[in-house]
Amino acid sequence: MSTTVQASEESLAVVGARIVTTDRVIDGGVRIEGDRIVDVGVVDHDADTVIDAGGSLVLPGLIDLHGDDIEGHLHPRSGARMSLPMALATADRANISAGITTKFHAISFELDEEADRSPELAALLSDAIAGATSLLVDHRLHARCEVTQQECIDAVLEVIKNGDADLVSVMSHVPGKGQFRDVEAFKTYYENSANHTVEEAESMIQTRTDVSMARIRDRVDRVIGAAHDAGAVTASHDDEDPAEVERLAAAGIDITEYPITLQTATRATDVGVTTAMGAPNLVRGESQWGNLSTADAIDARAVDVLLADYHPPSLLAAPFVDTGEPLPARVRRVTANPADAVGLYDRGRIEPGARADVLVVDPDPTPTVARAVVAGQPVYRAERGGR
């Protein structure tokens, strides 16, 4: 369920632009009537509002299918909790400044109170996202379900039943599997997180490894089935085995997020599952966990979508990382491709009839957003010297 974004009823023209379409870059302008793009190319300057791009790039608004950055706005320090309205408002501004106009907040339904995560808090966040008003960005819910914990499954199923989730993903943070393929790496991560003692980390290992793989798969199938019945898109998280991707695809998974190995990513592509990798991984040049690099997966043509993950500015920076591909191909991974992956075919592209989410971007010295238009409404301006 999306939050309400107030659409403009006036006309707007962006002129003097280098427009990135789905397949090429053209010089000209974009004309908007209400919340829709009506013309691309040569446009008149007689609109109610005219924005001069001054030769800068004009991109579609970015679409982030997995961003957990709201957790940092809610808890800027562990145990120091801000109000939900403040967290949403600050996340809203941070995301529009990074060019993200459609945001899927990846809310973790996971029982880990020392890391400020619980199914109860996740449910509160979900309600706040579903009921938010007067925000700049189109906010949506991506419910992440930790399937090793029954409490989390129950909470996610309730959110799905309420119709609040647009995207539902299943994850099993089990030591020896996924991003924690090494049990010692799992223990080290949690011991060094400043939120857990050695005893707590060892208790988590015991609790999560007590759940059999057969039971995990049964829970995954149950969550996937409920999500599809409610019309939500589904995803899996940290897949490491090509055979498991095949099983998940047969069960109805639509997207694989952060596949651990290149073999898994390429197999997902082969069986028609959308493959999504982290934009920070590409911008930094490596995986934080020593797993598959986004650049290597792109080289193998096994990446459809990039995700902001924990760092929204990386989603804007990622298309400007040279991968040897044309700029439109790189931009599609953060615009049209994620839109199509979740059935939002009205956005993520600059063409007549599309929803008018438009960015003016200065690529140098680092990509920044100068102007942002959401649903035809100018909502953000950060220009040097003005235009």
Range 62-174+211-341: architecture per CATH:
Alpha-Beta Barrel (3.20)
pLDDT of residue 213: 84
Residue 314 vs residues 69, 202, 385: alpha-carbon distances, Å: 12, 34, 25
Q: Which pLDDT score, from 0 to 100, does residue 183 have?
A: 52
Show Cβ contacts of residue 341 under 8 Å, excluding neighbours closer than 6 positions: 65, 233, 254, 255, 274, 276, 304, 305
> What confidence score (pLDDT) does residue 51 get?
97
pLDDT given at position 113: 79
Spatial neighbors of 328 by CB under 8 A, at least 6 apart, are 20, 21, 22, 23, 24, 25
CA 355 to mean position of chain CA atoms: 19
**Domain range 11-59+348-381, its CATH number among 3.40.50.12140, 2.30.40.10, 3.40.710.10, 1.20.1640.10:** 2.30.40.10
Distance between CA 279 and CA 99 in Å, rounded? 14
pLDDT of residue 179: 47
Block mean pLDDT (10 aa), the chain, length 387 = 68 97 98 98 92 97 98 94 96 98 98 89 96 94 96 97 97 62 54 57 55 89 97 96 95 97 97 98 93 97 98 98 98 98 98 98 96 98 71
| Predicted local distance difference test score (pLDDT) of residue 114 | 78
The position carrying tokens 């952060």 is: 258
Bridge-based pairing of strands 100-109 and 62-67 is: parallel
Domain boundaries, the chain: 11-59+348-381, 62-174+211-341
358: Cβ contacts below 8 Å, ≥ 6 apart: 14, 30, 32, 37, 58, 59, 60, 61, 350, 372, 373
How many other CB atoms are found less than 10 A from the CB of residue 14?
A: 30
